[in-house]
Every structure is written in C-alpha cells, then in structure tokens.
C-alpha cells in the first residue's frame, strides 16, 4: 500500500483552491487537543488558556456526567444499533426527550444527532416549495442549508431588523404559502441576542410560524439556562425551539421542542432523524445528567456571567474593538475582537497561541469580508487569574501589531 501524496488529476482543482487559501493567509491546520476540554489545556503539545470552546459551563469533563456515561455504557453498551424509527429508540432516548420537554415547559421534544441536523432536518421537512422562509441574514449555516433543502422561497432580512422583516412579510401577505420566521437566539459570531419577542409579535400579526435556534442561548440565557425564548417569556409564542446538546450541555446532539404534533411529524418526516443512527446511550445519559445540573447548580451560570462582564469590561477599557462599531454589539459570553483583514487575523491568532492563548481566528466566508475577528468565548470555569493572564497576552500581542486604539 502506498501512502505518498500523489494528487490524482481529477482532484487537482481542490489543491488549487487550497493553494488560494494559503496565498490569502486563511488556510489553517486543525489544532489537536491532548487533554480535557477546559479553561487551561494542551493543544499541539502547548499549554494554553482556552478562550475558544463552547464549553460554557465546564460540563464537558464534569465528574457527574462522566459517571452517568460510564454507568450507561455498563448497562446498555456503546451503541444503539439502528436509526430511531427502525430499532434504535432506547428507553434512555425517550427519557432524555421527556426531560428536555419538561425543562423547556413544552409538550414534546425530539433529539437529533447534532444541532446542525436539528435545524436542517426541521426546516427542510416542515416547509415545501409553496412556502416562504424569513431568515435573519446572520442565521447559522444549518438554517440556511435547511431552508435551501426545503425548496421554499427564502427572504433574508437585515440583521435583527424587525421592520425589514415586516416589510418582506407584507410583500408576501397575499401569497397562499406558509410563512416561517427564523432567528438565532444568540448569534454565534457576534454574540448579540435576537429580537425574539418582536419577531413573535410579527408572527402573531401575520399568521406566520415562529422558530428560534437557541444553540448558544441554551445553558446561558433564561431561567437556569432555558434559553432566549424563556428569557423573552415567549415559550407559548414560538412554534419551533431548537437547542444543542453540544455546547453548554457538554456532550453532543441537538433537539427540537414544541407541540406533540410537531414532534410526531418530525419523527415521521425529518430526514436526519429517519436516516441516521441514534445517539449512543452514554451520550443520552450524559445529557440527562447535564439538565439535572442546570436545575441544581444555577451558580455555574452566575459565574459564567460575572466572568463575561469582567472580561468584556477589561477588553473595552484596553481599547479593543469588541463589536458595536461596525458590527453588532455582543451581549453574551461570545466576545469577538475585531481585526478586519483575514490574513492579519490568522497571524494574530497564531501569535496569541505562541504566547499561550487559544483564541480562534474567524475569517471570510464564516464572517463577511473585512470583518475577520478573533472569537473568544468565556466559561464559568475560568479563574480570575486565568482571565487576567489572557488579557495580558491579548494586550501584549495586539500592541505588537498596532491593533489597540489607545496604545
Ligand atoms: C447558532 C448555531 N446553531 C446550530 C449549531 C450547530 O450545533 P451542533 O454543533 O450541535 O451541530 C451551531 C454550532 O456551531 C450554532 O452556532
């Protein structure tokens, strides 16, 4: 067997595109985590303060979640053996869905293999080509892909611009198709909060369906981390609530909450649910333990917010552009540090890493051209000392590249 790097001519076009990324300075190599996902960990053999993970509440390596996973493996083995609709629905999958539904205060819930498939599978199955989707321009890629797969007509409204959404709704008011308004609860690249309540008003006024993707709001906003829908007191006004089990919950998966009929319909029609194997029982058990913790240890969320406030205040005082000038202002533990140009951002990120800080550079096409940034995420588990050390590294490296307004 040969392992040489021979490029088949059929694939040469991919190599060319990669070379283009290299020329633009936005090509990256995957950094490899060598221990647990925590505030201080080892990537590529280097000990760094970690400001890049979605492990908001430090649950990825929580002892209670580990125990739950190990116990489930002992009891049920490591795999479910089938898709949910054939033979792969285990008692523990049902328990998790019941647990989430009760937590969110809705009739029912369905768990998908990821937040991505929850969004894409739901949007693509509940709408058809006669229908309309009104989607915020900064909604997550999984919503965009689901919207395309549905073949519905897509109307994109300017970021958080409720008046623009209404204008688009008015244009299609007389059309027979269904209308679905979709927003992220928290936007993943800017950390700002979607106008869920105001969009619900529009949905009520125009008879539209309302959907919210709470991937970054679950475990972060609302009572005990119930999400943005709870934060805005809109539980009864949102038809489709999506959440993820992969970020604050610390494991893997996504879910949809809503009416019993919505969930039954998704059981029958959502393609990732129908055509992809269900979670290993250990993942379901881990998630159940995580929701228990959210109820029992709200102080984790309080710590997350107090760390977030401190970090943001210090960044702003030092002169970093953390959004609010040319980009939306962050309101959550996701804090972007705006750099602008893609190449400079990636170089900044690499220099931070060398200095002991893991903070990922994000460039086009994930964010618009000219709005490349370092995206930082605070967690409840960072100590004040680690945060101060991170600030010191950021400041020293930023000064070297003249990024600071008042340096
Ligand atoms: C807003 C948003 N929705 C959905 C997802 C997908 O969630 P998951 O990682 O569970 O697939 C993400 C994750 O990147 C996200 O940021």
Domain 23-52+298-400 has CATH 3.90.1150.10: yes
Does pTM surpass 0.85? Answer: yes
Q: Would you identify the CATH topology of the domain 63-296? A: 3.40.640
Residue having the nearest C-alpha atom to atom 7 of ligand 1 = 115
Residue having the nearest C-alpha atom to atom 10 of ligand 1 = 115
For ligand 1, mutation pick of 112, 142, 144 (most atoms within 8 Å of CB): 142
Reduced to 3 states (helix: H, G, I; strand: E, B; else coil), residue 376 is strand
pLDDT at 407 over 80: no
Distance CA 30, CA 277 (A): 27
- Determine the average pLDDT of the residues in 57-65: 98
CA atoms within 13 A of residue 224's CA, in its CB half-sphere: 13
- Determine the average pLDDT of the residues in 124-153: 97
CA atoms within 13 A of residue 192's CA, in its CB half-sphere: 15
Please report, for the chain, the start and end positions of each structural domain, with discontinuous segments joined by +: 23-52+298-400, 63-296
Residue having the nearest C-alpha atom to atom 8 of ligand 1 = 115
Distance CA 397, CA 407 (A): 12
Determine if ligand 1 sits within 6 Å of the CB of residue 116: yes
How confident is the model over 370-397, as pLDDT tens digits?
A: 999 999 999 999 999 999 999 999 999 9
Contact assessment for residue 144 and residue 123, using Cβ atoms and an 8 Å cutoff: no
Determine if ligand 1 sits within 6 Å of the CB of residue 184: yes
pLDDT at 6 over 80: no
At 119, phi and psi to the nearest 5?
Answer: -65, -55
- Determine the average pLDDT of the residues in 280-292: 98
Catalytically annotated residues? 188, 216, 247
pLDDT at 330 over 90: yes
Using the mean position of ligand 1's atoms as its centre, give its distance from the Cα of residue 215 in Å: 6
């Amino acid at each position: 067997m040969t392992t040489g790097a021979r490029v088949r001519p059929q694939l040469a076009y991919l190599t060319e595109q990669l070379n283009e990324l290299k020329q633009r300075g936005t090509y990256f190599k995957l950094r490899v985590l060598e221990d647990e996902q925590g505030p201080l960990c080892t990537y590529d053999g280097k000990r760094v303060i970690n400001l890049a993970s979605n492990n908001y509440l430090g649950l990825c390596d929580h002892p209670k979640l580990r125990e739950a996973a190990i116990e489930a493996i002992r009891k049920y083995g490591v795999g479910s053996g089938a898709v949910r609709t054939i033979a792969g629905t285990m008692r523990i999958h049902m328990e998790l869905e019941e647990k989430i539904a009760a937590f969110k205060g809705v009739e029912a819930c369905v768990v998908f293999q990821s937040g991505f498939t929850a969004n894409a599978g739901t949007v693509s199955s509940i709408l058809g080509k006669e229908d309309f989707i009104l989607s915020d321009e900064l909604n997550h890629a999984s919503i965009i892909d689901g919207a395309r797969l549905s073949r519905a007509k897509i109307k994109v409204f300017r970021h958080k611009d409720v008046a623009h959404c209404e204008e688009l709704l008015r244009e299609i008011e007389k059309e027979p198709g269904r209308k679905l308004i979709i927003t992220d609860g928290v936007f993943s690249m800017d950390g700002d909060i979607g106008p869920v309540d105001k969009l619900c008003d529009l949905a009520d006024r125009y008879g539209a369906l309302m959907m919210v993707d709470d991937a970054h709001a679950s475990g972060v906003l609302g009572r005990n981390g119930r999400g943005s829908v709870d934060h805005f007191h809109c539980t009864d006004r949102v038809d489709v609530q999506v959440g993820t089990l992969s970020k604050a919950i610390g494991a893997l998966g996504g879910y949809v909450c809503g009416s019993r009929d919505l969930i039954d319909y998704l059981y029958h029609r959502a393609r990732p649910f129908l055509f992809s194997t269900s979670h290993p029982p250990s993942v379901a058990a881990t998630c159940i333990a995580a929701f228990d913790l959210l109820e029992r240890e709200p102080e984790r969320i309080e710590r997350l917010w107090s760390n977030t406030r401190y970090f943001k205040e210090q960044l702003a005082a030092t002169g970093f552009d953390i959004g609010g000038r040319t980009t939306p202002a962050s309101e959550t533990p996701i804090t972007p540090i705006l750099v602008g140009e893609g190449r400079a951002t990636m170089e900044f990120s690499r220099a931070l890493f060398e200095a002991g800080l893991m903070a990922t550079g994000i460039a086009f096409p994930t964010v618009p051209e000219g709005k490349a940034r370092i995206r930082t995420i605070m967690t409840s588990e960072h100590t004040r000392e680690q945060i101060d050390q991170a600030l010191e590294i950021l400041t020293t490296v930023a000064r070297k590249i003249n990024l600071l307004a008042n340096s």
